[in-house]
Amino acid sequence: MNEIRKALNDSAVVRWGVILLISFTMGVSYYFYDVLSSIKSVMQTELKLSSTDYGLIVSFYSFPNTFLLMAVLGGIILDRWGIRKTGMLFVTLMTLGSFITAYGACNYYKNGGLGHNLMGSFLPSYSPELKMMMLGRLFFGLGAETFYVVVSKAIVKWFKGRELALAFGINLAIARAGTALALISSPILVGEQVSGLYPSWTNATWLGAMLMAIGFLTFLFYMIYDLKFDRQSRVSIVSGPDEKFEINDVLSLFKNKSFIYIALLCVTFYSAVFPFLTYAPDLMHNKFGLDLQLSGKIASILPFGTVLFTPIFGWFVDIKGKSSTLMILGSILLILVHLTLSLTTIYPYIAIFVLGIAFSLIPAAMWPAVSKIVEEKRLGTAYGLMFSIQNLGLFSFPILAGKVLDITNASITPEMIEKGAQLDYTVTVLMFAGLGLVGLLFAFLLKREDKFSDFGLELPNKNIL
């Protein structure tokens, strides 16, 4: 038995190899999530959409996880079915959603293709293109959030007691690299402007869908190793007859103050970053007068910064601990960045770089910390609940940001935007700063509670000789 285990999860080559496999799938899903972020104005011009419409497309990713609690149900399914079955189901939904989204934006569909008349037969105030893309984002989000729960539990399975925070850090770094590549590549892929339009603008969405299909195949390859691990070590992560799910498994999480604080920090922090990032290139395009390609490149500093810093902070947490302290520091940096971008005209390079540091600090400390406060057999349920709570913000704030942007720029029409009129983002970004302030409160409460609950969030994850 010991020899078999040493050949698998005790082998550094194997465990880091499986991290690369599942992280690639996660990375291409992040690519697709942000594939439209740096071409917002192009999409609005091509499909005649408002900022609120754009916010709806972004937000519908979170619809099933916000209103149907699918990430919670997915976490429960994960604890019962295991990593392979659950992952296969939800990576399939994610891939399907990416192709539906790309189809909704393509010229064939726009010119009356399959499903166009059906989508035009209801809610006439919304275009068929908008509705098809919203449907695609719904399926994509239905798969993606539960798939991320699967990834989180897989990392704990292979790395608990070893380099757990570093493993989470590298996983997140690869995922953020997908976001950065999307921000950089999309303005290039839209092609040259012809007669006020971009005939090749859908290249970006189709490339994202193709990459998602490759990610689907990568996960299939990971499943081979996961099956071998379970068979050779004789470890099953599927609950046995004496571990059937009960509603008390969820209710007990709400009795855990540390879990409540970390979940609320999760929703406020990610709501202040991800929705902001979907507007960031357009913010820089409007406030600083930068072209689309440069705006996308500057915005990509944030995820590229996390590629470097998240593994470093993960390594620090493994060696030194201080998880709750790092969450407090990250929250402070987040507030300072949003105040700088909203109230000053300081060029955005430094602010976006610092936001990348904040975006590395909190996740590198937060996700491994959950495994300290929740027993492993219920980690899927716990992560699923966190992702569903997180999606409350990911659904609400892109729409709210679009609404605020439209209201504070009510005098600017779409025609004026096409001619170069600049939108004022001040109030919109101040809203994100307010979220950071609330998150800071939860980070302080988490550190205070850890002194009483003694989960050891300030302690290292592993002992280094």
CATH of span 11-233+248-453:
1.20.1250.20
Cβ atoms within 10 Å of 412's Cβ, excluding its own = 16
Q: DSSP assignment, residue 421?
A: P
Q: Which of 153, 133, 211 is nearest to 376 (CA)?
A: 153
Asked if 222 contacts 151 with a C-beta cutoff of 8 angstroms, the reply is no
Residue 237 confidence (pLDDT) above 50: no
Q: What is the pLDDT of residue 194?
A: 55
Buried b (16+ CB within 10 A) or exposed e, 113-134: eebbeebeeeeeeebbbbbbbb
pLDDT digits (tens, 9 = 90+) for 148-188: 989 988 998 888 778 888 898 899 889 988 988 998 888 88
| 460: three-class secondary structure by DSSP | coil
Q: Report the pLDDT averaged over residues 2-27.
A: 79
Spell 144-165 as b/e; 16+ CB within 10 A means b.
bbbbbbbbbbbbbbbbbeebbb
Q: Are 178 and 30 in contact (CB under 8 A)?
A: yes
Phi, psi (degrees; rounded to nearest 5) at 159? -125, -5
pLDDT one-digit tens code per residue, 291-338: 877 887 888 887 777 888 889 998 999 888 889 999 999 999 999 999
Higher confidence at residue 50 or residue 211? 211
Amino acid at 32: F
DSSP reduced 3-state for 426? helix
Chain-centroid distance of CA 351 in Å reads 20
Taking only the tens place, the pLDDT of each residue in 419-439 is 667 888 999 999 999 999 999
H or E segment to which residue 322 belongs: none
Domain range annotation of the chain: 11-233+248-453
Task: Please give the share of the chain, as a percent, with pLDDT higher than 70.
Answer: 91
Q: In the chain, pLDDT over 90 holds for what percent of residues?
A: 34
Residue 412's closest CA among 403, 423, 402, 401?
Answer: 423
User: pLDDT at position 68, please?
Assistant: 73
For residue 197, list its beta bridge partners: 194
pLDDT of residue 247: 66
pLDDT at 232 exceeding the cut of 80 = no
